[in-house]
Structure 1
Amino acid sequence: MFEDPLFWLLVAPGVLLGLYAQARIKANVTKYAQVPTPRGVTGAEVARRLLDAQGLQDVHVEPTEGVLSDHYDPRTKVLRLSQQIYYTPSVAAAGIAAHETGHALQDAEDYFPMEARTYIVPVVQLASQVAPWAFVAGLMLNMNALTWIGVILFGSSFFFALLTLPVEFDASSRAKKLLVNHGIIGEDQIEGVDKVLDAAAWTYVAAAVSAVGVWLFYVLMMLGRGRSASASSR
């Protein structure tokens, strides 16, 4: 697989986009982590203020380990912020905290793409575990139907990555509006939030491009095997 030029032709764009996205998010988070919020509010305070303003007092805000490990858990109604975001009064921290608050609002409003993504997570996790075994077993046993099952299951990651895009873009859009409307970030600082959240969005785009590249490789490989089998049987 790794020796096939087609694999790298299809996967390379996602890899390069991923490297670009990581470089952008690292640079922008580092830069705007040095820019303080107007009234010195931390990421945790930003999240709490925005959640309370939207009537989401039941959503808890907690610190968590890791770097940029910020996320909202719709199952437990907990918004978790990495410590550098939770405790820091910066534009970067405010933007990321507001973004995660956007996910909590999506959950409260039953935003369809988020609801769909949440429900298919167990299916995608199971499919990602079964797919390699089905694919390899199908090749070894020369059972095209089983191999195609593996290919189809690989496609679940692609579908999940695509479904993630509207969820993340919508959360960022909500974040920017909330920060300005509630006076947490001034108009002169919203550019910093834009750069941080836009850089983060590129990581999801890169993941989607990588997922579709890998899936297309398997599809084209199977189609090529089918044509070769037909030609040899003549």
Structure 2
Amino acid sequence: MGLLIALIVMGVSFYVQWRLKSKFEEYSQVGLSNGMSGKEIAETMLRESGIYDVRVVSVEGRLTDHYNPQDKTVNLSPDVYYGRSVAAAAVASHECGHAVQHATAYSWLQFRSQMVPFLSVASQYMQWIIFIGVLLINTSIIPLTIGVALFAVTTLFSFITLPVEYDASNRALAWIQKNRIVNEREYVMSADALKWAARTYLVAAIGSLATLLYYVSLLMGRRD
């Protein structure tokens, strides 16, 4: 049963990732009516949100866009940074949504950020601890218990990420609509793109929970 659930989640994850990439490829071909680039949109959103200490920079890769609260940078992939498309507008404003969260001390982002240092260390050893715990489950449950506890924290992290991502998208969509960055047709496309992006986080959280429950079942002696 555990294997079946894992395969289903994996299948759904691949589908969502495929849809996300296809949506962004589609909307990357749709030119923005106002002609602004992702960089220009990001800088405008930051400025109009009263944020002047965040830089907008270009980073290598595709779909590598993110906000870094440590050095206060909105990092945009080349397609978004230089792009003048609906996809670029959606991504740039979304990442600036995170910057606005940071500037306004959004509670879920703060909670998430506080967990990062612990998870960065725990993730290096968690899988090994779980592996050893599974091997020694008939001898001692301590290693697996520790591993499951660490995995539970990573699962919590994935669920805390959900409101952070959805809120950033909501902020982005509200801003680009209010400030007429997009027209009505472009707004619908932007919302669709960000919807699929958010679903990748949702599937990841569900997958993490399913894996956690499987490990818990092993710990409790209910093996599939």
Normalising by structure 2, we get a TM-score of 0.94
Q: Supply the AA of the counterpart residue of 1:66.
A: G
Matched, 1:71 2:66: yes
What one-letter code is carried by the residue in structure 1 that aligns with 2:150? L
> Which residue of structure 2 lines up, in the alignment, with residue 8 of structure 1?
3
| Inter-partner Cα distance in structure 1 for 2:146 and 2:20 | 37
Equivalent residue number for residue 117 of structure 2: 122
Matched, 1:81 2:38: no
Percent identity for Structure 1 against Structure 2: 38
The Cα RMSD (Å) is: 1.5
2:18 alignment partner in structure 1: 23
Query: Do the aligned residues in 2 keep the contact of 1:36 with 1:90 (CA within 8 Å)?
Result: yes
Which secondary structure does the structure 2 equivalent of 1:72 belong to? strand
AA in 2 matched with 1:92 = A
Q: Secondary structure at the match of 1:40?
A: coil
The separation in 1 between residues aligned to 2:148 and 2:5, in whole angstroms, is 16
- Give the counterpart letter for 1:128 in structure 2: S
Bigger drift between 169-178 and 184-193 goes to: 184-193
Aligned-partner SS, 2:221:
helix
8 A contact 2:64–2:77 mirrored in 1: yes
Give, in whole Å, the separation in 2 of the partners of 1:214 and 1:17: 15
Take 2:202 and 2:3, find their aligned partners in 1: how far apart are those partners? 18
CA distance in 2, matches of 1:140, 1:205: 31
SS of equivalent to 2:127:
helix
Give the distance between the partners of 1:9 and 1:219, measured in 2 at CA.
16
Separation in 2, partners of 1:21, 1:50: 29
Structure 2: gaps spanning 5 or more residues: none
> 1:140, CA displacement in angstroms?
4.5
| Residues 158-204 of structure 1: CA deviation (Å, up to 9, x unaligned) | 11110100000000001100001111111232110011100101110
Q: How big is the shift at 1:12?
A: 2.3
Q: Indicate the residue corresponding to 1:160 in structure 2.
A: 157
Structure 1: runs of 5+ lacking an equivalent:
1-5, 228-234
Give the Cα–Cα distance (whole angstroms) in 2 for the partners of residues 58 and 116 of structure 1.
22
Count of residues in correspondence between the two structures: 221
Which range moves more in the overlay, 164-173 or 136-145?
A: 136-145
Matches within 5 A, 1:169-180: 169-180=166-177
